[in-house]
Amino acid sequence: MGGSDVLGRILANKKREIESLTVPVREREKPILDFRQAIIDRNFICEVKKSSPTLGEINPGADVEETAALYESLGAACVSVLTDRDFFGGSFKDLRMVSSKVNIPVICKDFIISEKQIDVAYKNGADAVLLMATSLQKDEYNRLFAYANSLGLHVLCEIHELSELEVVSDMPPRILGVNSRNLKNLEIDIEKGAEIIKSLPQYDVKIAESGMKTEADIRIMAEAGAVGFLVGSSLMGAENPAEVFASLKAGLI
């Protein structure tokens, strides 16, 4: 998908999608797992992502349960599940299936702008949700962060620019993600991401996100101070995900 403001189009679509979103009546069946501690212990958040605006179809026929189970068996700390339908080929059904399959924490990765999305994520077994400073005003972030916390969910707050820290300044997150991809034009700059991570010593659990494909990429982010690494496309598109994961992990040795 080309264009100068992909995020704007995704958010406009998300507002329409939320109108027809319904919160399940059923109660949550599993306890909330410690997403933050899992990252500290095992570092890698591995993503279930069938497609993306940049790559198009990555693995549209992927069995989400098998994929998540493989990640767990390889030693992933957590599983990230894309629940955006139109741009990433995901669903809350995928989230429910994954959370029922694995015994490690699961994060709902979506463009969250409403409490309703957090409710649906919670009911479908998410242990954490993503809040993107790029797509939220300060009051919106504060409201959604507080609401997720009220349910006991962990929050991964994501920034792309240092200036976005102002959005989260009232309620600093305990897990901060730095996305090396500019979601407005989809360009990736790993060096910029690493510099931002390096400049934030006050955050002890920092997650490097997007564009990491090699052992060297992981090493750059680890040396900058990242504790966790969110990897998706490189695993989802691989013929041998176990081999790719082993290579990525080698960046921490």
Residue-level pLDDT at 179? 96
The pLDDT assigned to 62 comes to 80
Find the catalytic residue in 14, 50, 109, 206: 109
- Strand blocks (E) in the chain: 44-48, 51-52, 56-57, 78-82, 106-109, 128-132, 154-159, 176-179, 206-209, 228-231
Distance CA 206, CA 224 (A): 10
From 52, 59, 80, 210, the catalytic residue: 210
User: Which residue among 51, 99, 124, 179 is the active-site one?
Assistant: 179
> In angstroms, rounded to a whole number, what is the distance separating the alpha carbons of residues 24 and 22?
6
Kindly state the tokens that stand for 94: 């995928």
**Catalytic residue (one of 80, 123, 158, 233):** 158
Q: Pick the catalytic residue from 49, 123, 206, 249.
A: 49
Residue 197 · residue 206 · CB < 8 Å? yes
| pLDDT recorded at residue 4 | 53
d(CA 124, CA 64): 14
Which among 75, 105, 108 has a CA at the least distance from the CA of 90? 108
Dihedrals phi, psi of 180, to nearest 5 degrees: -80, -5
Contacts of 128-132 with C-beta under 8 Å, sequence gap 24+, read 128/35, 128/78, 128/153, 128/154, 128/155, 128/156, 128/175, 129/153, 129/154, 129/155, 129/156, 130/155, 130/156, 130/157, 130/158, 130/177, 131/155, 131/156, 131/157, 131/158, 131/173, 132/157, 132/158, 132/183
pLDDT tens for the chain, 253 residues long, are: 344 588 899 999 999 999 999 999 989 989 999 999 999 999 999 999 877 777 777 777 789 999 999 999 999 999 999 999 999 989 999 999 999 999 999 999 999 999 999 999 999 999 999 999 999 999 999 999 999 999 999 999 999 999 999 999 999 999 999 999 887 788 899 999 999 999 999 999 999 999 899 999 999 999 999 999 999 888 988 889 999 999 999 999 7
**Annotated catalytic, 47?**
yes
Pairwise CA distance, residues 115 & 230, whole Å? 24
Is position 158 annotated as part of the catalytic site? yes
* 210 catalytically annotated: yes
Tell me what pLDDT residue 51 has: 72
Q: What is the pLDDT of residue 1?
A: 38
pLDDT the model gives residue 239: 86
Residue 164 designated active-site: no
pTM (predicted TM-score) = 0.94
Residue 125 phi, psi dihedral angles, 5° rounding: 100, 10
CA distance 251 to 103: 25
Give me the CATH code for the 6-19+31-252 domain, please: 3.20.20.70
Say whether 249 is catalytic. Answer: no
135, 180, 209, 249: the active-site residue: 209
Residues 45 and 102: their CA atoms lie apart, in Å, by: 13
Alpha-carbon 71 to chain mean position: 15
Active site residue 30: no
pLDDT of residue 167: 97
- The reported pLDDT for the residue numbered 2 is 42
Q: Confirm whether 191 is a catalytic residue.
A: no
